Amino acid sequence: MNKYHALEAAEVLKLLGSTEAGLSKREAEGRLLAYGYNELEKGKGVTALSIFLDQFKNGLIVMLVFAGLLSLVLRERVEAAAIFSILLLNTFLGFIQEFRAEKAMEALEKTAAPTANVLREGQELKIPAKDVVPGDILLLEAGDIVPADSRIIDVSYLQIDEASLTGESVPSKKVFEKLPPESSIADQENMAFMGTVVTYGKGKVVVTATGMKTELGGIARSIQSTREVQTPLQSRFAQLAKQIGAVAGFLIITVFVVGILNRALSVGKMVLFALALTVSTIPNSLPVIVTVSLAMGAKRLAKKNMLIKKLPAAESLGAATIICSDKTGTITKNEMTITDIFFDDQVIRVSGSGYEPKGNLYVGHKQISPKKLELLMRIGYLCNNAQLVEKQGRFEVIGDPTEGSLIVLGEKCSLDKAYLHNHFPLIEELPFDSERKRMTVIVRNKIRKRTEAYVKGAPELLLRVCDRVVEKGRVRRLTRSDREKLLRVYNSFAERALRVLAIAYRELPETKRYTVKNVERSLVFVGLVGMIDPPRQEVKHAVAQCQEAGIRVMIITGDHAVTTEAIAREIGLLKGGDLVLTGDDLNRMGDDELEEKIENVRIIARALPIQKSRVVDALKKKGHVVAMTGDGVNDAPALKKADIGIAMGINGTAVAKEVSKAMLVDDNFATIVKAIREGRNIYDKMIKSAKYLLSCNAGEITSVFAAIMMRFPLPLLPLQLLLMNILTDDLPALGLGFESIEEGIMKRPPRDPKEKPISNRIFLSIIVFGLIMGAGTLFMFSRYKDFNLSKAQTVAFTSLVMFQMFAVLSSRSLHPSLKKLNPLSNLWLLGGG
């Protein structure tokens, strides 16, 4: 790919065969034929039919179909009807949940730039964005979505929000000068990228790439080439289905052969009995229990602001061993907040977080009156183009987040907006540019009957044009020691990853024309304000919960390392020995070195999309179950590659939502921890039900198999086996799905991703229960078999049912003893039993 950012604008125009007047109509038509439409290739759409058919890609469902067909062979219509009803219920539940989630995702998607303003033969035209071609000259202004990757050739205070692509929380201030060839995408300030949003100013750009050739297109191609990952639940239960199928196959052959050899029944009846035993060996209700547990869990998660797009993801969250999270908007609020002010030789702390205008001012622990800072706050409020608005109880900033923080500060201190605008009306604005790195407004001070300039900007540059300072309400000369002290304070703020602005003003002489040269000189320095995008209040506790639960948290972001490290320390994420890497560090590492170091990495800053995918690959090779959160287009490939991709609901892009398996409705990291807790609970319930069902099946098999081996008559009739399969196996197993969450569920380490669906400990308990139930049933059967076979079979049936009632009680918990369980806490189980 050509490094257009490293070339002069004139060179780029020449290379693309264009001029500042734009392409001719004929040339544009030719290029459209040559390059194709400016749109991304769409993957296969998700239809209702495809969602429905996906429900059958499950070994347990296939096993259920087989059991239903066997029942039809046995002419057991009631059993067949019950099995196929379960099958339909299971399919319906899965289909409804995933279909609704898909529609919810579609409703949240927003279309990309539908039109573009272009220059063709010097004439400004509005055309469909898909008709834009390389070499086209585009005219951008505030509110536009950039339709294609472009090199900037002229700017007027142009700022573009590139958070969806780079992860940067602050809009990029654009320039037209060439930049170093090695500049990363986030640092290419002379480029505009497809899908990003113009927030301020105007610009003229020349299109360098369209469609799939853009940065966005490269990410789309990466998404399409990434295979969707099977969740841990799907792989484990596929394995369980194979194991049960193997046992069923072995049983049908063994029982049939031994039964014939022992002449237990005629060949015809023995075939029917073996088939009936196979049907009862297959835990028919297990698939629907799995689906019901997932659907109920998904419903509970939706109430907690986690929307599940793929049902198995509800449980997979509980298997996560590491959460790879974006920083901006997930760990943090994505709301720039002023936390510190240096004014009148004092550091003043500002309480409150985010855009909500609540907070106070403190020097040490003493609260101070905002009136002392009236001048600083007035300048910050008026030298500003942002607005603070309230929407549905939530405060938002329209405009630049940095300027928004100054508006919020004024609101916290109860500045009278109407008074300010009436008594300090705006005369003129000298907008921010990348060379001066400051903004100035000229206002009329009606109280003092004079004209004043209010200035804010980068401290190191603003100090150069200041020669006085405010101290104790008076103006005095700015000394060398003052400058040194102010720079020390500035550096101390910067070391804490605060974004720092300097505030200054000047009384102006009356003139007809105000310029940068005659206004921005001999300024009076007022103070410094330090701001940061603060972490969400709940995140520190959520990170601590993750650590207690044995789950690692890693921040992967496009933002700077210093800022990210400061946030990580504040939320308790960084400890001794933890590594902080950057995208450049990853570029210098081979895959082997990355795999070696990845276990100690807590932060990866300035990360590119392909690097996020590399990190996910390295973690998975280490055996981790990876939950990846993200909101931008840049997160999409890694979201798809992760075991559980989680998109952001508020700030998430349509691309991120499309490839994810789940979505955070409130964009809150703490919600993920709640979801992990629910995911562990879902898995526990499924294992409890599976343990009970397989224990019952083991008891039935043991009693029948032992009777045949001992040349006893059959202790159970085919009808009894089938009846037991529905009434005493399936219903109580469904009731176990309503058990409450066990204590200490978030104090257990994550289960081993390689762990079998039925662990060795649970398998041993199934065998023990099976032997006890089988032996007890056979003992009761043996006492009556020589007197009355029908009565003996009834006794055997009743005995086995009673044993199963004890088994279901013991299956209520996988960890604590039964003494800790309230016998009346699960009325669904009592009803089912």
Which amino acid, residue 497? A
- Indicate which residue of 136, 161, 326, 482 is catalytic: 326
Question: What is the Cα–Cα distance from 780 to 411, expressed in whole angstroms?
Answer: 82
Do the beta carbons of residue 596 and residue 293 sit within 8 Å? no
Phi, psi of 116, rounded to the nearest 5 degrees: -145, 145
* Distances, alpha carbon 734 to alpha carbons 71, 692, 705, in Å: 21, 10, 27
Phi and psi for 655 in degrees, rounded to 5?
-65, -45
Render 651-679 in DSSP notation, one character per residue: S--HHHHHH-SEEETT--HHHHHHHHHHH
Classified as helix, coil or strand, 275 is: helix
- Residue 792 in tokens: 């003996």
Rounded-to-integer distance, Cα 680 and Cα 815, Å: 13
Tokens 């969806």: give the residue.
Answer: 164
How many Cα atoms sit within 13 Å of 41 on the Cβ side?
A: 14
Check if 592 is active-site.
no
Q: Of 513, 500, 508, 512, which Cα lies nearest the Cα of 524?
A: 508
Neighbour tally for 275: CB within 10 Å:
20
If residue 288 lies in a helix (H) or strand (E), which one and from where to where?
helix 286-303
DSSP string, 552-613: EEEEE-SS-HHHHHHHHHHTT---TT-EEEEHHHHHH--HHHHHHHGGGEEEEES--HHHHH
Separation between Cα atoms, residue 135 and residue 26, nearest integer Å = 13
* Residues whose CB is less than 8 angstroms from the CB of residue 36 and which lie 6 or more positions away in sequence, other chains included: 210, 211
Whether residue 656 contacts residue 633, with contact meaning beta carbons closer than 8 Å, is answered with: yes
- Overall residue count recorded for the chain in this entry: 833
Written as six digits, the tokens of 496 are 């804490």
Cα dist. 479→141, 376, 476, 482, 810 in Å? 43, 20, 9, 5, 81
Classify residue 99 as exposed, middle or buried by CB count within 10 Å of its CB (0-12, 13-18, 19+). Answer: middle
How far apart CA 203 and CA 199 sit, in angstroms, is 11
In the block, residue with structure tokens 């009731």: 735
Closest CA to 158 of 169, 173, 143, 168: 173
Using the CB atoms, write b or e for 11-35: b if 16+ within 10 Å: ebbeebebbeebbeeebbeebbeeb
Cα–Cα distance, 696 to 607 (Å, whole number): 53
By annotation, the residues acting in catalysis are 326
